[in-house]
Amino acid sequence: MTGGAGFLGSHLCEQLLSRGTEVVCLDNLITGSRRNVEECARNPLFRLVECDVTRPLSVAGEVDLVLHLASPASPKDYQRLPIETMLVGGQGCLHALELAADKGARFVLASTSEVYGDPLEHPQRESYWGNVNPVGPRAVYDEAKRYAEALTCAYRRERGTRTGIARIFNSYGPRMHPDDGRMVPTFVCEALRAEPLTVAGSGEQTRSVCYVSDTVRGLLALADSESEGPVNIGNPHEHSVRQLAEMIRELVGSDSPIDSTVGAVDDPQRRCPDITVAGEQLGWQPEIGLREGLLRTIHWFAGQLGADTASDRV
Ligand code: NAD
Ligand code: UDP
């Protein structure tokens, strides 16, 4: 797996290990950390190889499955690392595909709902081609993922590689970085620290957030299938950013005010997956409700920040 020491990757490593699968995690730790996989590292089936996947890869022995997750994922990270993001979506994906083709392995790309850009179709189905500004500040991520999807399809067509593409929608949960700038960790940490919650723009823009265990189950279902995708993996319950901020504040039991900050450039205004394909092809749907997922997340962040909050009831 590439990117296994990140947020989603570390949970995926844990699930694979719990099935008795040997896991080689290739990660340069640019946005991930050893700490994320310190539990995994106690398992003899796990190996972390610190390397940059934009350079050619070699893994000894048989490989059944290549999961390509390496990429900065939060807008703050990919705008701080624009060239690295383009390279890992391009060269990194190429090397992961080469590895899969050489080993005769199944390949799964962690793509994103960002391929839909600021969508003109709602909810988003896999058949929608998207509305991406190719020269805006989000383009390094969106276009790298669109390129990665095209490259993945080229390997399927030209080399017969057994590929699958997951279009992952906003996921959240333990091990997100408190400072990675994404909405859920930012609001949770602000509420726990009794600071104002910084809602960007009107707060009327929407997201549909999926708890990490559901996302990981969806990725594994895709890996276990022969589906070529793309398949949306996300929770179809849509909320405005302001509603999410209010719910997090309530669940933390905080009096923090909700502040409006400058809206982000090219911020998608609506985001909600149609998950019919995931249901039909993978038998997958999310199971963890928003309140439950947020409470688990708050509980974890409270432990990290050493804060004493109402979430201790979890
Ligand atoms: P993350 O930043 O926590 O993890 C990404 C990992 O990739 C990190 O461990 C990082 O060090 C590693 N990495 C980056 N460039 C690398 C390189 N050149 N070589 C080796 N390792 C490299 O992000 P995440 O939230 O866990 O996302 C994982 C994947 O899922 C990403 O591809 C992301 O685009 C995709 N995704 C995530 C979400 C989400 O909500 N978390 C939504 C859509 C898509
Ligand atoms: N957002 C916000 N305050 C923050 C961080 C994000 O209001 O501190 C907004 C952001 O503008 C976007 C939504 O929350 O409308 C989701 O942002 P995130 O960075 O989590 O994910 P993405 O934009 O990639 O969906």
Query: What is the per-residue pLDDT across 200-221, written as a single tens digit (0 to 9) for each?
Result: 999 999 999 999 999 999 999 9
Ligand 1, residues 26, 29, 30: which to mutate, most atoms within 8 A of Cβ? 30
- DSSP label of 289: -
Residue with the nearest Cα to atom 6 of ligand 1? 3
pLDDT band at 305 (very low <50, low <70, confident <90, very high): confident
- DSSP label of 37: G
**Is the ipTM beyond the 0.95 threshold?**
yes
- DSSP label of 113: G
Q: In whole angstroms, give the CA distance from residue 92 to residue 12.
A: 19
- Paired with 163 in beta bridges are 107
Mean of the pLDDT values across residues 299-306?
92
pLDDT exceeds 60 at position 52: yes
Q: In whole angstroms, give the CA distance from residue 89 to residue 67.
A: 13
In the chain, count H helices and then E strands. Answer: 10, 12
Across 17-21, 54-58, 85-89, 304-308, least confident range? 304-308
CA-nearest of 92, 19, 105, 12 to 63 is 105
* Contact call for residues 200 and 263 (beta carbons, < 8 A): yes
pLDDT at 307: 53
Q: In whole angstroms, give the CA distance from residue 227 to residue 250.
A: 40
CB of 264 closer than 6 angstroms to any ligand 2 atom:
yes
Exposed / middle / buried, residue 144 (Cβ in 10 Å: 0-12, 13-18, 19+)? buried
* Ligand 1 atom at minimal distance to the Cα of residue 88: 18
CA-nearest of 117, 138, 139 to 128 is 117
pLDDT band at 314 (very low <50, low <70, confident <90, very high): very low
pLDDT exceeds 50 at position 228: yes
Q: In whole angstroms, give the CA distance from residue 72 to residue 70.
A: 7
Cite the active site residues: 141
CA-nearest of 130, 227, 211 to 169 is 211
CB of 173 closer than 6 angstroms to any ligand 1 atom:
no
Let me know the angle formed at the C-alpha of 174 by 170 and 176, rounded to the nearest 5 degrees. 60
Ligand 2 centroid – CA 172 distance (Å): 12
* Contact call for residues 244 and 209 (beta carbons, < 8 A): yes
